[in-house]
Chains A and B, each alone.
Chain A
Amino acid sequence: MAQIPIITEASTTPSPKVITLRIARYNPQHDSNKKFMEFNIPYERWTTVLEAILEVKKYFDHSVAVRYSCRQATCGSCGMIINGKPRLACFTKISELNSNVVTVEPMNNFPVIRDLAVKFERLFNTHHKVKPYLIHDDSEITTDSKEFLQSPKELEKYIQFSNCIKCGLCNSACPTMATDSLFVGPQALAQAYRYVADSRDKGKDTRLKIIDESHGIWRCHFAGSCSQVCPKGVDPAMGIQLLRGYMLGFRS
C-alpha cells in the first residue's frame, strides 16, 4: 500500500501527547488500492478516535469521508476498524488503545463507499429479513382490547438484545461473514432472538423457518467475536445460541 508523506500540525499549541493517525483512503470509483495518509494529532486523555478524525477533517484534509452523528454510541454510524479491531470511533478513546499509532480503516465485510464510510444495505436487508417487529394476530389495539401486558421477568428475556444500534461491528468481526456473502449475520440473528423471546410475539415459527437455510443460523460456529466487539453489550453470540436452542429442542 502506498504511503503518503506525514503532515504535521505545526501551528497549534504543543501538546504533551501526540499520536500518528493513519487513515485509510480509498475511492472504489477510481482507486485500485487502499492508501494510508498519516497525520500527527495532539490528544488528551478523553480524546476519542472520532474527534481525532474530525481534527484531520477540520485542519488538514476535509475530503476524508467518515460517517458519524451522535458522538455518544447511540446512532451506530461511526463503526470502523481501529488498530485491527472493529470499534465505534466515538466510543474509543485514543488513550485506551495504548499505542502511538492509531490506524483507522473501513469496516470489513461491508462494501466501501469512500475512505471510512461503508454501505449498510446488506445489514439492513438481513435485519429486515428476520421480521424485526412483533407478529401478533391482534396487533392493532382497539378501544375495547387490552394492551399487551408484560412482566419485568418477561422483559429481561429480550431487553439486552433490543439495545442493538445496527452499527455492524458484529458483522465485521464474524469469521463466517469474512467469506460468506449470503450469511444472515450475527446482527440479524440476534434480532431474530430478540423478537422470538418477546412474550408478546407469535412469530417464532416463521422466523425459525427463515433462518433455517444453508446460509442461516447453522453457519454460526460460536466463535463469539461478535459479542467481543459489541459496544452495547448485546452479546449476539448468546442470542444466536439461545435461538438455536429452540431448533435443537433444548428450549421450547
Chain B
Amino acid sequence: MTNQDEHKEGIGGMINPRRYGIERVAYLLMRLSGLGLLAYFIGHIYETSSILKGQIGWNEFLELTQTNEGHIILAIVIAMCVFHTVNGIRVMLGQGGVGVGKPARPDYPYIPASQNVRHKMGIYSAIILAAIAMMYGLAVMFGE
C-alpha cells in the first residue's frame, strides 16, 4: 500500500509544530536536537583525532574551530545539548508515568490531565535554560 493509499500525513505532518501546542513543538525540537547532537558528536570524534597529527595538526584544527562561525555552531550545540537533556529528563519521567496525572472520570470540556502545567513548565524551562546556556557559551567563547 502506498503512502497515498494509506492517506498518511507523512513527514510534513509529523514535523508540523503548529496545531497541537507546545508539546508538539518540544517533540520536534527533541528530534532535531538529537539529530544535530549526533552529527556534532561524529564530527567531534573526527576533529579530536587530529591530536594524533601532533602539535601542528592540532593547532591547524583549532584555528578552524576558533572562528566566529565555529563559535556560533558550538553555541547552537550547547543549546541543543541543554534542551535535549532537560526535555529528555521530562519525557523520561513522563514515559514512566510520573507527573501525567491520575485517571479519573472525565468531565466536559475534557482537558487532558497528561498535558498539565508541570510538563508545560518543563518544556518552557528546557527552552529557557538552553537559551541561557547558549548565551553563556557565547560570552565565554567571544569573551576570550
Contacts and interface: CB of A to CB of B under 8 A. Distances in A.
Physical contact A–B (CB less than 8 Å): yes
Interface of A: 28, 84-85, 106-112, 118, 156-161, 163, 173, 175-179, 181, 197, 220-225, 227-235, 237-239, 241-242, 244-245, 248, 250-251
Sort chain B's interface into a size bin. 35 or more
Given A28-B5, A230-B110, A237 B14 contact: no
Interface in B6-56: 6-11, 13-14, 19-21, 23-24, 26-27, 30
Contact of A224 (B6, B96, B104, B115): B115
Contact of A108 (B1, B8, B97, B103): B8
B8 A161 contact: no
A85 B20 CA distance: 9
Contact of B104 (A156, A197, A225): A156
B100 A237 contact: yes
A228 B6 CA distance: 23
A242 B103 contact: yes
B13 A244 contact: no
Interface of B: 1, 5-11, 13-14, 19-21, 23-24, 26-27, 30, 91, 94-98, 100-101, 103-108, 110, 112-115, 119
B19 A242 contact: no
Contacts of A108: 7-9, 13
B97 A224 contact: no
Contacts of A178: 8-11, 13-14
A111 B7 contact: yes
B9 A242 contact: no
B97 A223 contact: no
B92 to A, nearest CB: 9
A227 to B, nearest CB: 4
Contacts of A176: 14
Interface-central residue, A181, A231, A235, by most chain B CB under 10 Å: A235
A228 B106 CA distance: 13
Given A173-B20, A238-B100, A227 B115 contact: yes
Nearest to B96: A250
Contact of A223 (B10, B23, B105, B108): B23
Nearest to B115: A224
Contacts of A158: 103
Contacts of B19: 84-85, 225
Contact of B106 (A160, A229, A242): A160
Contacts of A110: 7
Nearest to A110: B7
7 contacts: A108-B8, A108-B9, A118-B7, A161-B103, A223-B23, A233-B108, A248-B96
Nearest to B107: A233
A176 B114 CA distance: 18
Nearest to B4: A28
Given A111-B7, A179-B8, A241-B100, A222 B110 contact: no
Contacts of A238: 100-101, 103, 112-114
A234 B106 contact: yes
B114 A159 contact: no
B27 to A, nearest CB: 4
A211 to B, nearest CB: 14
Given A109-B7, A175-B13, A251 B103 contact: no
